[in-house]
Each structure stands twice: as C-alpha cells, then as structure tokens.
Chain A
C-alpha cells in the first residue's frame, strides 16, 4: 500500500506528516490497551486493573491535545492541499474518535467497579458471558482499524466496514438474553442495567473503529462514505 505522505520537495514536510501519522498510531495503541484492560478487568474480576484504566484516561486526553496542537500548527504553516489535506483531516477526525474510545473504556471500567465492587451478591456468571463476547468483538474491530490506519490499507478498511453489523447483531442478541434474565428473576435488574451499559460501550467502540476505516478510505480515495444509506 502506498504511503501518501512522502516525496515533498521540502522534506521536513514529509517528516511532519509522518509524525502526525505516528501520533494517531501511538494514541490508537493506548486506546486499545485501555479497551483490552477494561474488558480483562471485568472478565477477570480485577478491580485494581479497572482503577488503572480510569487513572490512565488522562493520558489518552493528553494525546488528543498534543495531536490537535500539531495539526493546527501544520495547517497554519504548511496549508496542506490534495492528499495531504485529506491526510490531516483524516488524522484529526481519527484523534477525536480515539479520544472517545478512551472515554468508553473508562466508562466500562467505572461500570465494572459498580458491578463487581459493590457489597452484596456477585452477579450470576452467566450474565457476564455477553461482556466477554462483546468485548472480544470490539477489541478485534479496533485492532483491525489500527492495522488499517498503520498500513493505509484500503482492502482491509473495506473488509472492516463490511463487518459493521457484527457488533450490532451481537448487541441485540445480548440485550434479548438480558431481558430474559430480568423476566426470570427481577432481582437481576440492577446487574442487567449495568451490563447493558457496558455492552453498549463496547458497541460504540466498534462504531469508532468503523469510523477510522472510513477516514482512511476518504484519505485514499477522496470520497466521503460516512452516513451512506443502505439500500
């Protein structure tokens, strides 16, 4: 896959664009760690790990601030056009999505603390099953999205976008299962609401991963495919 940021007569410009790309990958790696740790904290009932995720959220925010500042500088000093402009725009949008992935990971960790850390009976382990499966799907999609961003790979981006319904279907199925649990035993309501919020957060992470793939396609092909209506 061609790397679009090289070949400028002013070579420092190549370096600046490369550095922006590096910042997205660095922030992506951090966001991915957050999501993985949030999932593991829940699956392994590791409250310390959940607290670590919450504490680390500020690092993701710091990445966003640093990237935004570099983007503004690059726009002011280089006035990028053509594929360079699309790269800067795609990076800027990606940074916003990754910051929200970080937020969702912290939300999952917080909900995990409520779910597992409160006094009284633990939730039924069967109830927690959907967290593991939704978590695995979300982590997989985010990993693929970061591969797309890393390699600027159009085919991989298209494959990822084609899989966009997976998480949605899984969420709907999990939601129905949780409703059944509630109907069977209303004492499950408190746990179930927490779990719905957690799997919803995983679903959103999947949507952010899809967005990253869309930005890469926009950068490569110059066409915005967001908000397309399915036939």
Chain B
C-alpha cells in the first residue's frame, strides 16, 4: 500500500502548497526568482524571452515582474479579467506601449536573443518582425491589394511588380481570403465584411514575413463562422509563426492555444499546457476565473 500512501502525501502537498515555478536553465544568461507564478514559464524552444517585465503608467504599476517564454511554432493564449494587464503585456512585445505618454517598461524582452528594448533597436523593422492584429479590423482606406502590398513595399521586400503581386497573392491565400477577393482586388478594403476585413489585416501582417504575430482579441467583433475561420487560420499559421493571442473567450483560448497564461491584477498567476489549465488548474485564482466563480 506504499503507493497509495505516497499518493496521499503527494496530493495533499500539491493542493495546499503553491510550488515555485522551475528556475531557468544554464543556457539562459540570467537567473531570477519567478515570484508567484505557478507552472513552467520557460519554453524549450523559446522565440521570445520576457524576464521581470514591469509596466508603469505614470505612478501606477500595471504589470508586476512577469517572466514568460513564448515558444517557436506555438500559440500562447493570454487570459484574465478586464484590466488584468494581458493587453498591456502583449503590447510590450512589439513596443506598442512606446507611443503611450507616461508609459515605462522595465525588465528584459528578447526576440531570438536580442533585447527589443535596446536603445539601438529600430522599432519600424521590429514591428514588421513582430506583427499585430487588433480587436477591431482596421484596414487602410485603400484597395484590398494596396492594404497587403503596402508593408512589403515600404520595407523594400520585393524587387519588382511581379514579385509584389506574388507576395500579395500568397499572403491573401495564407490568410484564407484569396478565393473571396481575387476578382475585386481594386475594391476598398473597407468594403469587405468584418470577418473578411480581419483576415485582410492578418494577410497584411504576414505579408512582411514576421516571426511573431500578436493578436489582441482578434475575434471579439466577429460572428461564430468568421471566428471559426480565424481560428482555423491561426492553427495553420502556427506552422510558420509564433503566435500570442489575448482573448476574453476562454473557449477560444482552449481551442486555439497550446499554452495558456492567466493574468490577474497585473501579475502572471499561472502558465501551463492549455489542456492542463482547463482540466486541472493549479492556482485557485485560475480555477475561479475559468469556472466562472470570479467575484
């Protein structure tokens, strides 16, 4: 009966104590305590490495010491109640917070080993490397073609018109929109439906060949069919890109992501395999939030 006794002990330990998250391996250049975060914050094939990230809006601290890796070819979902800091955090990942007056970011965020907050870093190519799709589809007031062609053109990614046309077609195909718009490329992007506009924005993002795609509630303005199309697209894009998605829909997080991170009051409370987080969350706050007990 030893095994049962061991199990008893193990189960008691697990529920009553919050285990500290695993420390960094030797291959990472610095070592820190992961504070209160429960779960494995590191990824074996990390593309983005965030350490001790703090964000302040003036005197108010919005993010407290977040450590998180985002792995290659994974979709990580950031969930949490309104105001928990998940959008603020995702906006740190391509320096979108730079544009907010009074916003200050400390800590370290690396993309493939390079600190994106390095003063030498040029944010324009950075934002091409780390693209972003927003809650509300925001196509440029230009034609469908121009919406996709604009990025590659200003970043000088193509040599001639034929190459540019190829990039536009490929991007629209990868965004699952080509068949619907191939005969109306000169029509304004704003003439498309909401779901199509969002896929156009995704096509625009992938046209500049990014490494990471950040999505801030990309489906909250869409109906279930358009949402399903975007979710299918996310699953396909994962093969090539690294994706971080902020979503208010826990079912969406469960459907599209491999890892889930739960934020609460600016802290990263728990991170883990999505299946584990949704069947057996380890932190009480995560459990309360996902089961709808959040008070």
Residues of A within 8 A of B (CB): 7-10, 13, 79-86, 154, 158, 161-162, 217, 220-223, 225, 228-231
CB distance A231 to B4 under 8 Å?
Answer: no
Q: Which 8 A-B pairs have the closest CB atoms?
A: A222-B280, A221-B11, A7-B293, A82-B291, A81-B278, A82-B287, A81-B290, A84-B291
B254 touches A158 (CB 8 A): no
Query: Given contacts A82-B279, A217-B11, is CB(A162)–CB(B293) below 8 Å?
Result: no
| Contact between B4 and A83, CB atoms less than 8 A apart | no
Establish whether residues B291 and A83, one from each chain, have CB atoms under 8 Å apart when the complex forms: yes
Q: Is the CB of B279 within 8 A of A228?
A: no
Say how far B283's CB is from chain A's closest CB, in angstroms.
11
In Å, the complex CA distance between A84 and B281 comes to 11
CA distance A217 to B4 in the complex (A): 12
Contacts of B261-295 to chain A: CB distance below 8 A: 278-281, 286-288, 290-295
Hey, which chain A residues are within 8 Å of B288, CB to CB? 7
Q: Which residues of A contact B7 (CB under 8 A)?
A: 223, 225, 228
- Report the Cα distance A217→B7, complex, angstroms: 11
Given contacts A82-B279, A221-B11, contact A9 B294 (CB under 8 A): yes
Note all chain B residues with C-beta closer than 8 A to A8.
291-293
How far, in angstroms, from A85 to B281 measured CA to CA in the complex? 11
| CB-contacts of B1-24 with A (<8 A) | 1-4, 7-8, 11, 14-15
The answer to whether the Cβ of B44 comes within 8 Å of any Cβ in the partner chain is no
Rounded to whole Å, the gap between the CB of A87 and the closest CB of chain B is 10
Closest chain B CB from A216 CB (angstroms): 12
Say whether B251 faces chain A, with CB atoms less than 8 Å apart.
Answer: yes
Nearest residue in B to A79 (C-beta to C-beta)?
Answer: B251
* Least distance between B279 CB and chain A CB atoms (Å): 6
For the complex, count residues of B whose C-beta is within 8 A of A: 25
Answer whether A9 and B278 are a contact pair too, CB < 8 Å, given A81-B254, A82-B287.
no
**Residue pair A82, B290 in contact (C-beta under 8 Å):** yes
Give the one of B7, B14, B292 with max A CB within 10 A.
Answer: B292
B273 to chain A, nearest CB (A): 13
Closest residue of A by beta carbon distance from B251: A79
Q: Which single residue of chain B is at the shortest CB-CB distance from A158?
A: B8
Q: Which residues of chain B have C-beta atoms less than 8 A from A158's C-beta?
A: 4, 8
Q: Tell me the bound Cα distance from A87 to B287 in angstroms.
A: 13
Chain B nearest CB, measured from A4 CB (Å): 9
For residue B250, CB closer than 8 A to chain A, the reply is: yes
Nearest chain A CB to B272's CB is how many angstroms away?
12
Which of B11, B250, B287 contacts A223, CB < 8 Å? B11
Contacts of B278 in A (CB 8 A): 81-82, 85
* Residue in chain B with minimal CB distance to A9: B292
Are B279 and A9 closer than 8 Å at their CB atoms? no
User: A-facing mask of B124-160, CB < 8 A → 1, else 0?
Assistant: 0000000000000000000000000000000000000
Distance, CA A217 to CA B8, complexed state (A):
10
B1–A80 touching, CB < 8 Å: no
Docked CA distance A38–B90 (Å):
64
Set A7, A82, A229: member contacting B281, Cβ < 8 A: A82
Q: Does A85 lie within 8 Å of B279, measured CB to CB? A: yes
What B residues does A154 contact at CB under 8 A?
11
| Chain B: minimal CB distance from A125 (Å) | 36
With both chains docked as a complex, state the minimum distance between the C-beta of A141 and any C-beta of chain B, in angstroms.
16
Shortest distance from the beta carbon of A166 to any chain B beta carbon, whole Å? 12
B274 to chain A, nearest CB (A): 11
| A81 lies within 8 A of B293 (CB) | no
Which B residues touch A229, using CB under 8 A? 3
Q: How far is the CB of A74 from chain B (nearest CB, A)?
A: 13
A86-B279 in contact given A8-B291, A8-B292, A81-B250 (Cβ < 8 Å): yes
Closest to B279 in A: A85
Are A231 and B290 in contact (CB-based, < 8 A)? Answer: no
Report 21 cross-chain contacts, Cβ distance below 8 Å, ordered by A residue: A8-B292, A9-B295, A10-B292, A79-B251, A81-B250, A82-B278, A82-B279, A82-B280, A82-B286, A82-B287, A82-B290, A82-B291, A85-B278, A86-B280, A158-B4, A162-B1, A221-B14, A221-B15, A223-B7, A228-B3, A230-B3
